[in-house]
Amino acid sequence: MATVTFSAADDLLYAYLAGEIDHDAAQNLRIQLDDALLARTPKTLVLDLGGVGFMDSSGVGLILGRQRCARSLGGTLRIQHAPEQLSRVLRLANIPCTDAGQEE
């Protein structure tokens, strides 16, 4: 089971994901993330994947969908603490990824 907790700072909305993200978990997380995006309309949504132990292709779809949602609201998406393999895929999709040493 995956969870998400939120923290806001200025124009940033941090979403800390934890657990295993499979198809069912991705659907639940999508609803929570979209609700938070619509309620707060942050300039930047930061997805922190530091607590994620497993992610299948549904998790990648979750991230790409949140990028589209953030852009439609005039914002951007940034990823932090993503595993290296996922970071490579996300960079190809033009989603910025940072590690613990590069956080803003």
Contacts of 69 (CB under 8 A, 6+ apart): 33, 34, 37
Selected from 3.55.30.10, 3.40.309.10, 3.30.750.24, 3.30.70.360, the CATH number assigned to the domain covering 3-93 reads 3.30.750.24
Is the model more confident about 90 or about 61? 61
Banded pLDDT at 36 (limits 50, 70, 90): very high
Domain boundaries along the sequence of the chain: 3-93
Confidence check: pLDDT of 103 > 60: no
Banded pLDDT at 2 (limits 50, 70, 90): very high
Q: 75-84, pLDDT tens digit by residue? A: 999 999 998 8
**pLDDT for res 97:** 86
**pLDDT for res 87:** 85
Confidence check: pLDDT of 14 > 70: yes
pLDDT > 70 fraction of the chain, expressed in percent and rounded: 95
User: Cα–chain-centroid distance for residue 16?
Assistant: 8
Q: Cα dist. 101→43, 56, 71, 81 in Å? A: 22, 26, 26, 10
